[in-house]
Amino acid sequence: MNPIDIRSPFRETLHRLTEDCRPVTDGENASYIPSLADVDPDLWATAVMSPEGDLYAFGDVDHEFTIQSISKPLVYGLAIEELGLDTVLERVGVEPSGDAFNEISLDANGRPVNPMINAGALTVHGLLQEKVGGRADDLILDGLSRLAGRRLDSDREVGEGERDTGFRNRAIANLLRSTETITCDPLQVFDGYSWQCSIKLNVCDLATIGATLTTGGVHPVTGDRVFREETVQWILSVMSTSGMYDSAGNWMNYVGVPAKSGVSGGLFGVIPGELSLASFSPRLDEHGHSVRGNAFFHRASSELGLHMMRVTGRPHGALRHRAVVDFDEDGIQDTTLLRLYGDIDFCSYEAIDREVTRGAASGTGLFVNLVEVRSLAPKAKELLEELLMAAGEKTTTYVHDPANLLDHAACSAPQWVDQAEIREYRSDQPERRPPRKLLRRRDARKPGPGRKPAAKSTAKGSDSRRKR
């Protein structure tokens, strides 16, 4: 069978959102680090990754930029793993500061109020230096590389620029040493933190790092557990309350996704268990966040329903079962069966999109069974109808939708099946086990309001379809 390419509404939606934000040209590059000021301000890239490791990337996806403050929650997690949560909390709090990233926000005991401001990030780096000495840099680079799933490196020019111009951070490090919040050499802490911020990555790496947090600390491609689930919980919590500094409250109300930005123009967000999103664009607003990235996240959250506080009352669902079966009893297993279930929203729809496009690309027919689906969010319904139309135009596609969750009249390309069941065989008799078959049956129920009776089959193996 020849491979067939069909449209992916999921990918197309993300691409359109990316392009919708391209005309946004407000803001300016960070100017206090010379190498950041010289970056092309028109660079623009986005990436989204599922917990299964499927990547959707657009724009200047290969351009590398320095991680900057995005390293803060990640190194915070490394410190929790290395030192234990109690040790870290003794030196760094978790309360929002309401201040800019470089403000000196300390509590009455001289402890930084959270690890997202520079004072807190310097303290976390100092804690690692106290524990492992000169190996702190290696520990951080190794940890971030494991999160990204590839070996990362640093930008020496940016690191030197940060050390040459970072007088305020140097002062903060000395202040922390004066209160014994850090106990090692403050200049070494300052140098190490400057190097930490100069680690390079691209937007795909950033989405991959986010996806590793999305899964609770397991890299979605390598399967490597980088963080314990409890550590991820602390990382995402502090990102929610403090990741966007003095605009954190506005961000959580409008976007509702735990996120972290960096002054090089990077921005990433995590929807636990569902998706990670990342963007890169160098122009910044007055808070130090990417203007285009802000626009992308705001639009994505509003249009796609990504806000983590959105109440749906649903158990998560989407794809319960996938198999290649004999659909028409001709002895050939040439149909991809997809059994959907639960309450499906935009995020959970991604798995359906992926499996339908893969099934079509493999050259098989498709059978999509919605009998266990309880509800479809409006955007998921729209995209699923587009997907089934695209699939039906390219390959033989059957759909079983007894609850009429989809618009059958508008979605004319697939063939609508009234009833279907899988005939299972005993696995303890493999020598007698015939090919797995999926049988279609005419629905014997009386038609409901607005529903015509199913047409009778006139040939063996033909399908019964609704007349619309």
Binding residue ranges for substrate: 69, 118, 162, 169, 193, 245, 263
Helix then strand then coil, % of the chain, to nearest 5: 40, 20, 40
Going by the annotation, the residues of the binding site are: 69, 118, 162, 169, 193, 245, 263
454 vs 408: CA distance, rounded Å: 14
Contact of 51 with 44, CB cutoff 8 Å: no
Per DSSP, the three-state class of 441 is: strand
137 vs 143: CA distance, rounded Å: 10
Pairing of strands 365-376, 335-344: parallel
Contact of 66 with 262, CB cutoff 8 Å: yes
H/E run at residue 337:
strand 335-344
Per DSSP, the three-state class of 364 is: coil
374 vs 313: CA distance, rounded Å: 12
Q: DSSP letter for 329, please.
A: S
Q: What is the crossing angle of helices 203-214 and 229-242, to 10°?
A: 120
